[in-house]
Structure 1
Amino acid sequence: MPFIINNRHFMKEEKRMLEMLNKMWIGATCRLHNFVEDFKHEEKGAAEIVAIILVIVVVIAVVVVFRERIMDLVSNTFDDADKVKDTSFLEIGNLKTLL
């Protein structure tokens, strides 16, 4: 008789485990389905990434094409800034001599 009781107990445990596995399977299936649906309908992020990459490629292409002009522009700007700096120091020096 004890064997039958243990067998019934085993059958109850087996049934409970199968129910738990079914719930886990249903939950995983629902999560997978929701993920697939969200992935199909969510295109905004991918489009933004593609747009950003295209902008970066265009900027790099412009820099490569106009590299010499950009270098000349930057060097001229720094030369002008140095001239202004030197002039302002000379003016400050002249003011000190006048005072």
Structure 2
Amino acid sequence: MPFIINNRHFIKEEKRMLEMLNKMWIGATCRLHNFVEDFKHEEKGAAEIVAIILVIVVVIAVVVVFRERIMDLVSNTFDDADKVKDTSFLEIGNLKTLL
């Protein structure tokens, strides 16, 4: 009589299948939770990258708009630095001649 189902065997098999389904459910739930958390952090990182790119674009736009003024400012600053350097060497030279 091969078609007779053994109740004990059927109950064991049913418990094993339920345990396997529970493990699969827990695993799927954990993976979904991890996916959501990773997505939150990824979005935060993407927003920071977009903010950095916007700051770079604004800086480049300011440089393009005020290019001439920036060049004049840098040129005047270096000219003033050269004048200070030249006068300090002259003062040191005058001190040596006095000694």
Task: Compute the TM-score of the two structures, normalised by the length of structure 1.
Answer: 0.65
Aligned to 1:52: 52
Gaps of 5+ in 1: none
SS at structure 2 position matched to 1:3: coil
Q: How far has the Cα of 1:52 moved from its partner?
A: 1.0
Aligned to 1:70: 70
Aligned to 1:92: 92
Task: Compute the TM-score of the two structures, normalised by the length of structure 2.
Answer: 0.65
Gaps of 5+ in 2: none
Q: How far has the Cα of 1:24 moved from its partner?
A: 8.9
Render the CA deviation track for 1:3-24: whole Å, top value 9, x for unaligned. 9999999999999999999979
RMSD: 4.8
Comparing 28-37 with 3-12, greater Cα deviation is found at 3-12
Q: How far has the Cα of 1:89 moved from its partner?
A: 0.2
Render the CA deviation track for 1:43-96: whole Å, top value 9, x for unaligned. 322222111111110000000111111011001000000000000000000000
How many pairs were matched up?
99
Note closer, same or farther for the CA distance 1:7–1:78 as it changes in structure 2 (3 Å cut): farther
Note closer, same or farther for the CA distance 1:65–1:2 as it changes in structure 2 (3 Å cut): same
Q: How far has the Cα of 1:31 moved from its partner?
A: 3.3
Alpha-carbon distance between aligned partners in 2 of 1:3 and 1:92, rounded to the nearest angstrom: 115
SS at structure 2 position matched to 1:42: helix
Comparing 29-38 with 45-54, greater Cα deviation is found at 29-38
Alpha-carbon distance between aligned partners in 1 of 2:95 and 2:7, rounded to the nearest angstrom: 108
In percent, how many aligned pairs have the same letter? 99
Q: How far has the Cα of 1:36 moved from its partner?
A: 3.8
